[in-house]
Amino acid sequence: MTIKNKVVIITGASSGIGEATAKLLAIKGAKVVLAARREEKLKRIVEEIKAQFGEAVYFVTDVTKREENQKLIDFAKMTYGTIDVMFLNAGIMPNSPMSALKVEDWDQMIDINIRGVLYGIAAVLPLFIHQKGGHIIATSSVAGLKSYPGGAVYGATKWAVRDLMEVLRMESAQEETNIRTATIYPAAINTELLDEISHEQTAQSMSGLYKRYGITPDRIATIVAYAIDQPEDVNVNEFTVGPTKQPW
């Protein structure tokens, strides 16, 4: 298995998809570096992984700050000597109608969902170029493939992630740097995303949808593991994933 002994950084690792992925990869033998803002949650997850004889460390990181992304990369290199995979998973979804004019929410989504991805790429890319290999994985959304009322800005950020990752894949192939990419487009996955929706009507609607269709984050973790576990000369670059019973 190619997962074993790989060094994997995961942003947004304090809950949801990030937490589930960290635990699964650790079970499979990866050395996992968890990054997020909530230290208490990161510490708990690392302790749980180590209790199962997995290898994990954490580094408190705000992905909206470029210098903290660089410090995360430096910490991972100092701890494990190299980096094999960067899973850019941090994201928020405070949806609302455009007419609600929740501009502060728009700004936060742009900062975390787009800048956070760009800063993560900027931090790890020089290393991957130098070592002629690496794997960058990003969490987009089905809202990055299809438009949904109430999700204009969130969808726009996820469309941006889609384009960034596809162009990165193409440029890597052209430049012969052997950097693999994978973009994941989840549908209704039961995480903390809904907790940040302040628009009451949107929150009620989304809550009802997720209660009806939502599946657990570990389902996405298996997709991440599958992407990493492919041979180095194979790049599976897109995964659209959701509940079987959800029409999306």
pLDDT at 55: 97
**Lowest-confidence segment of 64-73, 107-116, 182-191, 196-205 by average pLDDT:** 196-205
Evaluate if residue 25 carries a pLDDT over 90.
yes
Alpha-carbon gap, residue 134 to 180, rounded angstroms: 6
**Block residue for tokens 């991957």:** 128
Strand blocks (E) in the chain: 7-11, 31-36, 55-60, 85-88, 134-139, 179-186, 238-241
Active site residue ranges: 154
pLDDT at 196: 86
| Range 149-152, long-range pairs (CB < 8 A, 24+ positions) | 149/97, 150/95, 150/96, 150/97, 150/199, 150/202, 150/205, 150/206, 151/93, 151/95, 152/98
The token duo for 164 is 């960034």
Q: What is the mean pLDDT of the chain?
A: 96
Alpha-carbon gap, residue 132 to 176, rounded angstroms: 8
Q: What is the mean predicted confidence (pLDDT) over 45-71?
A: 97
Report the alpha-carbon angle 159-162-165, nearest 5.
150
For the beta carbon of residue 161, count every other beta carbon within 10 angstroms.
24
Report pLDDT digits (tens) over 52-62: 999 999 999 99
CATH number of 7-240: 3.40.50.720
The token duo for 103 is 């501009």
**Lowest-confidence segment of 102-116, 119-133, 146-160, 198-212 by average pLDDT:** 198-212
The token duo for 57 is 């460390």
% pLDDT > 90, the chain: 94
Evaluate if residue 1 carries a pLDDT over 90.
no
Alpha-carbon gap, residue 54 to 37, rounded angstroms: 22
Alpha-carbon gap, residue 127 to 73, rounded angstroms: 9
What is the H or E stretch that residue 19 is in?
A: helix 16-27
Report pLDDT digits (tens) over 210-245: 999 999 999 999 999 999 999 999 999 999 999 999
Identity of the amino acid at 183: T
pLDDT at 243: 96
pLDDT at 132: 96
